Structures are given as structure tokens and as C-alpha cells.
Amino acid sequence: MNKHEILQALSGHCDADLFLQANAIKQNVFGEDVYLRAIIEFSNFCNKRCHYCGLRAPNTNLNRYRMEDHRILETALLATAQGAGTIVLQSGDDFSYSAQRIGALITAIKAENDVAITLSLGDRGLDEYAYWKSCGAERCLLKLETTTPRLYKKLRGGESFSARLHRITSLKNMGYEVGSGVIIGLPDTDILSTLRDILFLSDLNLDMIAAGPFVPHPQTPLGNGVAGDILLAHRVTAILRILNPWANIPATSALGAVDPGQRILALHRGCNVLMPSLTPEEHRREYTIYPGKNLLDAKPSTALEHAKNLIAQAGLVPSPCKGTSPRREHAYKSTPRDATTSNTHRHT
């Protein structure tokens, strides 16, 4: 797709064709398989002040929690017992968990379970990420949120876009499978900035790309903002699929927060991953990045089962595999265009 075609697609001029093409490419690469990532949101403490997020440090209307190590390990065990091939450890930017402590958790989870581990811990040091890689973590998720540097700085309380980008490229160089993404429909974004987001993310050659809609949180500076357009979020993920055939692309939880049916729809429009939350009952409602988060998912003991049912309802197959990104295998063999014509379906 060239820039003109992307703009046409973003404007909704070709929804039916766009979604069909995205689904066909997804089917060619991943078949019917949908990868399951079990998220454990182990702390809602955060030292950042992102204007869009309910976990931001200045939000005092929130019961903060930190899970103890044995609870995190029990939850990981629960996830793998239910058939999760990947565990995602996510938290606010909570530096009270030392690098050694996170490393010990990774080692312990890997010792007990044949799973891949994704870290979504925010702006930790590159030395820490290198250490966690040596402990066995395979993947990182660090979203750019917006690729407009000025807006990034404004919405993330003065933080530097180039520092975030440097972190992402360094993680790639360390050998991590790296995921990034943006929030669709943040204030002060428009169709041109969305086009730039899509091109920027695609140029990064990511293993995973997430693009969920902005959900305003009342206890944040953007609480009165307009919610991200759901259809636009579908268009963005479909375009990303066409431009990035081998990337894992999740049907985001933010889509599900609006309406659970949206995630099923996304699985037919180019997405191939679901990320159910396994966060324990006593905490899951306090992980309020945005309103509605974790409200619609089932409780942890049945969360994976629930996700599998959702996938089956969509006529697709929940995959127990780790769901490694096929991008690396193919990047050096053929051009992405080949994925639109040949079946490159993988089960790793």
C-alpha cells in the first residue's frame, strides 16, 4: 500500500476490501490459529505521569497494590495449567521491584513452565533488560503511544520520544522479540499523524504491533477527551497487517473494554493474538489503566477458557504454542509480499 492508499483506507473508502485483504494475509501466515498471551498485572504503582493513564503517579483515587513473588508464580502456574504459551509480566513503571527480583521471577517461571516470557515493565534500564534476557525472558513490549515527538513529550509529562525509541531499538539489538504500538485517537492526532504512526511502526520491523483505541479515564487530565474511534482502530490494525504480514498483532484489550464483540471482529480483520488478564480477583479491578479494563474478562481461574471460547465462537482455533513471531525466520528469506501468496503458517 502506498501513502495515498493508506489515507484512502483510513478515511473508510474501502472498508470491505481492506478487512478482507487483512484477513486473507493473516490466514496465510497464521492459519486459523490465535495465540494466547496470559497477562499478569502484578503492580499498579507507577512513577510516571502519562496524561492518558489511570495508573499515573498523581492519581490518588486508586488503591495501589503490589503482588508478592509467590502470588505471581502461582498465577503463572495457573496460566500455564490452562494452556497459555506466553506469560506477559506487566506493571506500572514500578522500580521497587529490583532487577534481581524480576530476574528471579523469570528464572522461576521458566524452571516450572515451558512458556515464553514477555516483559511490559516500561522504561527500565537497558542493563536491567540485558540481565532479564540472560534470565530467560524472550520478549518485550514497549509502546511508543504516538510517533509525534512533540505530542509524546506533552502526553508523557515531559519525557523524551527519542529515549523511548532508543530503548526499543536497543532491545531489538539485544535479541529480544520486540513489540510496540500506538494508542489510536489520542487528543491532537488526526489522519495524517495516524498515517505517520503506521509508516513509522512498519519501518521498525517489529515482532508485535499493538494499536488499541484511546479510552478516556476520568481521573486523568484527558478525562473529558473524546474516545478513540473504534472503526479507525480496526482500520489501523488491518493496514498494519497488510504492511507487516509476519508481525503478531493483538485484538487489544482496549477494544474489548468498549465491547467484547469488537475483539472477535478484530480476529477477522487481521489480528491473531488475544491477551486475557490472569491478574487475581482482589487486584484486577484496581489495574485501571482505563475504565472497563478487566471488567468484561472472566475471573482468573477461567480466563483462558473464556478466551478459548471466544476464539472458537469466532470459528478460529486457540493455539497452545508460544507464538513466536514468524518475522525473523522470513525476514532474510523472502519479501513480505510473498506472505500474501504463500502459506507460511507456523506452530512454534
Tell me which residues touch ligand SF4 (CB under 6 A): 46, 48, 50, 53, 55-56, 92-93, 122, 289
List residues near ligand SAH by CB under 6 A.
46, 52-53, 90, 92-93, 120, 122, 142-143, 145, 183, 212, 214-215, 217, 254, 289-290
293: helix, strand or coil = coil
> Closer CB to ligand SF4, residue 48 or residue 306?
48
In the list ligand SF4, ligand SAH, none, the entry touching 183 (Cβ below 5 to 8 angstroms by class) is ligand SAH
* Burial label, 318 (beta-carbon count in 10 A; 0-12, 13-18, 19+): buried
In the list ligand SF4, ligand SAH, none, the entry touching 69 (Cβ below 5 to 8 angstroms by class) is none
In the list ligand SAH, ligand SF4, none, the entry touching 270 (Cβ below 5 to 8 angstroms by class) is none
- Residue written as grid cell 484512502: 8
To ligand SAH, the closest distance from the beta carbon of 196 in angstroms equals: 17
Cα angle: 342, vertex 33, 114; to 5 degrees:
115
- 115, HSE (Cβ side, Cα atoms, 13 Å): 32
**For residue 23, which phi and psi values (nearest 5 degrees)?**
-65, -40
CA gap 26, 22 in Å, rounded:
6
To ligand SF4, the closest distance from the beta carbon of 306 in angstroms equals: 25
> Closer CB to ligand SF4, residue 15 or residue 45?
45
To ligand SAH, the closest distance from the beta carbon of 161 in angstroms equals: 14
Helix H segments across the chain? 3-10, 15-30, 69-81, 99-112, 126-135, 149-155, 161-174, 191-203, 230-243, 253-258, 261-267, 281-284, 300-313, 327-331
Terminal Cα-to-Cα distance of the chain (whole angstroms) = 29
Spatial contact of 144 and 201, defined as CB atoms under 8 Å apart: yes
In the list ligand SAH, ligand SF4, none, the entry touching 290 (Cβ below 5 to 8 angstroms by class) is ligand SAH
To ligand SF4, the closest distance from the beta carbon of 287 in angstroms equals: 9
> Closer CB to ligand SF4, residue 209 or residue 304?
209
> Closer CB to ligand SAH, residue 217 or residue 283?
217
To ligand SAH, the closest distance from the beta carbon of 347 in angstroms equals: 28
> Closer CB to ligand SF4, residue 145 or residue 297?
145
The grid coordinates listed for 240 are 498494519
> Closer CB to ligand SAH, residue 122 or residue 336?
122
- Residue written as grid cell 531499538: 169
To ligand SAH, the closest distance from the beta carbon of 312 in angstroms equals: 27
Q: Pick from 167, 177, 90, 166: which is nearest to 140 by CA?
A: 177
> Closer CB to ligand SF4, residue 120 or residue 244?
120
To ligand SAH, the closest distance from the beta carbon of 93 in angstroms equals: 5
CA gap 226, 122 in Å, rounded:
26
In the list ligand SF4, ligand SAH, none, the entry touching 90 (Cβ below 5 to 8 angstroms by class) is ligand SAH
CA torsion angle 8 337 242 269 (round to 10): 120
